[in-house]
Amino acid sequence: MNNSLDKKYLINLRRITLLKMFLVVIAFIGLVFLLIRFHFVSNTIMLIIILILLIISIILIYYFYKSYSTRFKEVVIPVLAKDIFKDSYYTTDGGIGRESIAKLEMINKGNEVNSENYLRGSYKHNLVELSSITIADNTNFNEKVQRKVLFNGQWYMIGLKYGFVDDVLIIDKYSNLINLSTYNKIETKDNIFDNKFKIFSNTSSQVLTFLTEEKRKMFIDFLDKVKYDVVFYFNKDKLHIGINSGRDVLKAPLLTKFDLEAYKNKMFEQLEFVIKFVDDLGLFVE
């Protein structure tokens, strides 16, 4: 564990946040008790006031947690990332944006892309970028907007030592990002692999040469390990890897025991797994 972290500051930050949340709950309970005990207003108005107080309390608690989470990540993640990356950079705002996703012609990009928790760094002279991304499709139906979330999880963008002649998409067959594009569908004749993934590209010979039996097994093992929908998109000299986990792997601990080592292991477990996968594929510049 990197010793430059001020653990006392982080512990105090957590305690102050929990205290603020506790005071909000106590204030809500106290005000509700006074309303019921002294019955200042009619029952209908009293219920409306209690509902308003509840909404205000929830908003305050969320605000306190969001502020704590942002500060915790800003302090902890850049320090811990140095154990993996050279020249690491982290921000809770922004990330791998729509302009990067827009280049990926073979996936369903919807019409909404939100990104946060941006982390980047250098690994073996290769740029590795990571963001929490939500891809959604909003449609109007009977004058109401219907929102369908296509992807919600981690999106990696990794620089490669070489790329394919054309784009290559290797995607979980159940992914919502599958787009019925004009690109050719490729089958490897490996029943286990073909039952788990769909491949799209116009460079079938190069793809099949790359996907040796050993590499196909690595992709299968990756899918079995993460247990979520995944997408692998080779775009020129970049490899995009999406893991549709539906959660924030960089989530700051609040109610659990304050253990930075455990947080580091949990936070970087997926990142280290992805980097090792790409490294084992032989795609990094040494």
pLDDT (mean) for 51-55: 94
The answer to whether 121 and 87 are in contact (CB under 8 A) is: yes
| Cα separation, 263 vs 254, whole angstroms | 11
pLDDT given at position 180: 64
pLDDT given at position 123: 82
- Strands across the sheet with 112-123, in order? 86-91, 112-123, 126-141, 144-159, 238-244, 229-235, 168-172, 197-201, 185-186
Of the ranges 21-30, 43-52, 124-133, the best mean pLDDT one? 21-30
Which of the 8 DSSP states describes residue 184? P
pLDDT digits (tens, 9 = 90+) for 173-231: 878 787 766 578 888 888 898 888 888 887 777 788 888 899 999 999 999 888 888 88
The two structure tokens encoding residue 96: 């791998």
Report the chain's mean pLDDT, rounded to a whole number: 84
Instruction: Answer with the residue of higher pLDDT: 249 or 45.
Output: 45
In this model, does residue 97 exceed pLDDT 80?
no
Q: Which residues contact 117 (CB under 8 A, 6 or more apart)?
A: 73, 90, 92, 95, 130, 131, 132, 248, 250
Instruction: Answer with the residue of higher pLDDT: 85 or 213.
Output: 213
Helical segments of the chain, H only: 7-38, 43-81, 98-102, 191-194, 204-210, 213-226, 260-280
| Cα separation, 82 vs 49, whole angstroms | 50
Q: Are strands 185-186 and 229-235 parallel, antiparallel or unpaired?
A: unpaired
Q: How many residues does the chain have?
A: 286
pLDDT (mean) for 253-257: 77
Instruction: Domain ranges for the chain, please list them.
Output: 7-80, 86-280
Residue 182 half-sphere exposure toward CB, CA atoms < 13 A: 1
pLDDT given at position 125: 81
In this model, does residue 127 exceed pLDDT 70?
yes
Instruction: Answer with the residue of higher pLDDT: 16 or 107.
Output: 16
Judged by average pLDDT, the poorest of 7-11, 57-61, 195-199 is 7-11
pTM over 0.85: no
Give the H or E element holding residue 121: strand 112-123
Of the ranges 35-39, 50-54, 132-136, the best mean pLDDT one? 50-54
Adjacent-strand bridge partners of 128 = 121, 158
In this model, does residue 284 exceed pLDDT 60?
yes
pLDDT given at position 1: 46
Q: Is 20 helix (H, G, I), strand (E, B) or coil?
A: helix
How far is the CA of 12 from the CAs of 22, 74, 254, in angstroms? 15, 16, 12
The answer to whether 108 and 229 are in contact (CB under 8 A) is: no
| Cα separation, 201 vs 187, whole angstroms | 11
Q: Which amino acid is at 158?
A: I
Judged by average pLDDT, the poorest of 6-15, 58-67, 252-261 is 252-261
Q: Which residues contact 99 (CB under 8 A, 6 or more apart)?
A: none
In this model, does residue 153 exceed pLDDT 70?
yes
pLDDT given at position 51: 94
Instruction: Answer with the residue of higher pLDDT: 253 or 217.
Output: 217
Kindly report the number of other CB atoms within 10 A of residue 210's CB atom.
17
pLDDT band at 64 (very low <50, low <70, confident <90, very high): very high
How far is the CA of 47 from the CAs of 27, 30, 224, in angstroms? 17, 15, 50
In this model, does residue 3 exceed pLDDT 60?
no
